[in-house]
Amino acid sequence: MRSTLLSLSLLSLLGLSAGQPRHQHQHLHRHRANRAPIAKRDKITITDSKYSTTTEVPEVVVYVDQNNNPIRTTTETVVYVPASVETYKASTPTTPTTEVSPLPTKAAPAAESESSSYQAASPTIQQASSSQGVSADSYPTSSKSASSSAASPSSSSGALHGVAYSPYKGNGECKTADEVDADFALIAKDYGVIRLYGVDCDQVATAYAAAKKYGNKLFLGIFDINSIENGVSTMAAGVQNDWDIVDTVSVGNELVNDGGATVDQSISALSQTRSLLRSAGYEGPVVIVDTFVAILAHPELCDESDYCAVNVHPFFDPNTGPDGAGSFVTSTVSNIRSKLSDSSKRIVVTETGWPWQGESNGEAVPGMDQQTTALSSIKKAYTSNASNLILFTAFNDMWKKAEAATFMAEQYWGMGGQYSPCDE
C-alpha cells in the first residue's frame, strides 16, 4: 500500500511503510447490546494523479495534532480521485485541506502511534530490527505488580494458550447456559484461559459454570467503564466470589485506540476497578487492554496495569503475510518492552489471530490454509511462553457485521473456521 501524508487540519497518516507495522488496524470489537458497527465518518477524499479512475480503499488513518502528536486511530474509506476530476467535499470533524505529500521513505522504521490527547510518543517510533523473529520467551515474564498473585497468573488444565470467547449467537441474542456449556465442551481442552469482555448476557455466570466443569480459568472484563461498580458486583456474583478461577480482569478493550476514553480516564477506571475488586476479595491482576499502537504512544497504560495487556493483529498490516505473523507479534512486543518503565514487566498478547475468510489486505490474505500458517507461526513464537498468548477467537462471530473497512473478515476469525454449535 502506498504511504501518503494527508493533512486534514488534524494531519492524517495513511498506509504502512514496507515491512514495518506502522499503523495496524485492530478489530472493531462490537460488544454488549450495542452490537451494530461503530458509527463511522463519511469518506475522505484525496486528489492523486497516480490514479486514473476514482478508487475507494479502506485505509487505517492516524489523526495527529498540529505538532504531529497522534491522538486517534481509525479505519476510514478513502476516495482517491484523479487530478483531472473535481473532488467532492467529505464530511469531516474538521475543515479539510488538500495538502498531500509523500511520506519520507528514509524515515526510521516505525510503528505509528495513536489515541487520545495526552503526552504522545513520537509519531515515528524506532522498530527494533533485531527483534524480527525473536522468540517470545526471550524476555523476562515476571511482573512487579500491586499484589503477589498478579505477578505470574498461569493457564489451567495443562493447555498452552488462551482464547477469546463471545457470548452472543449469530442473531445477536445471548447464548443460554446450555449453549455456553456446549461451546466450552469443544474448546476447553485446547485452551487454559477463556477471555470474556464484559458482564452482559449473564456471561460471567454461564462461563463460570462451564469453566468449573471443564477445568478452565477465566479472563474477565469490565467493558463499560461508566458502570464499573455494577460490573464488579455482577462479576463477583457470577463467579460466586470464587476468585481462584479468575486469571485476570481487564478494564475496557481498545478504548484509547477507538477514542472511547482518554488515557487519564482509562487509568482512573483501572484504579477504581482494582479498588472495588480488592474489596470484593479478588487479588489477581487488573489490566487495561488496548492496541499495540495506543500502548506505544502511551506506555503508561501498561505501567499502571498489573501487567501489560495488548492486542496485536498481523492481518491488518498489508506487508505481513501469514508466515510472518509470529515475527510481527514478537517484534511488536519487543518494541513495547523498550517503552515500559519496567522492561522486565510481563506482556500478554490478549488478542491475535488470522481470518479464514474475507478480502485480501496486500500480503495479508485470508483463508483456511493461511490461518493455519499464521497461527502456527504465532504459536511457534510462543512455544516457551504460551501463557502470555490469547488467540482470537474461539468461534466465528456471526453477530458482527461484515465491512469493507475490516476486509469483510470481521465474522470469520474462528479457530479452524469453527462455528458455535448454536450457529450451525
Before 393, cis peptide (omega within 30)? yes
Question: From the candidates 114, 300, 351, 403, which is the catalytic residue?
Answer: 351
Pair type for strands 70-81 and 44-47: parallel
What is the chain's length?
Answer: 424
Please, where are the H alpha helices in 149-283? 177-187, 203-214, 228-238, 255-258, 263-280
For residues 259 and 116, what is the distance between their CA atoms, to the nearest angstrom?
Answer: 6
Please, is 182 exposed, middle or buried when counting C-beta atoms within 10 Å of its C-beta (0-12, 13-18, 19+)? middle
CA 423, CA 314: separation in Å to the nearest integer?
27
DSSP label at residue 381: H
* Cα(416)–Cα(356) distance, integer angstroms: 8
Cell readout for 106 is: 528514509
- The verdict on whether 351 is a catalytic residue reads yes
CA separation (Å) from 281 to 182, 196, 240, 242? 30, 20, 11, 9
- Alpha carbon distance 197, 159 (integer Å): 21
What number of other Cβ atoms are within 10 A of residue 241's Cβ?
12
Instruction: Give me the active site residues, please.
Output: 351
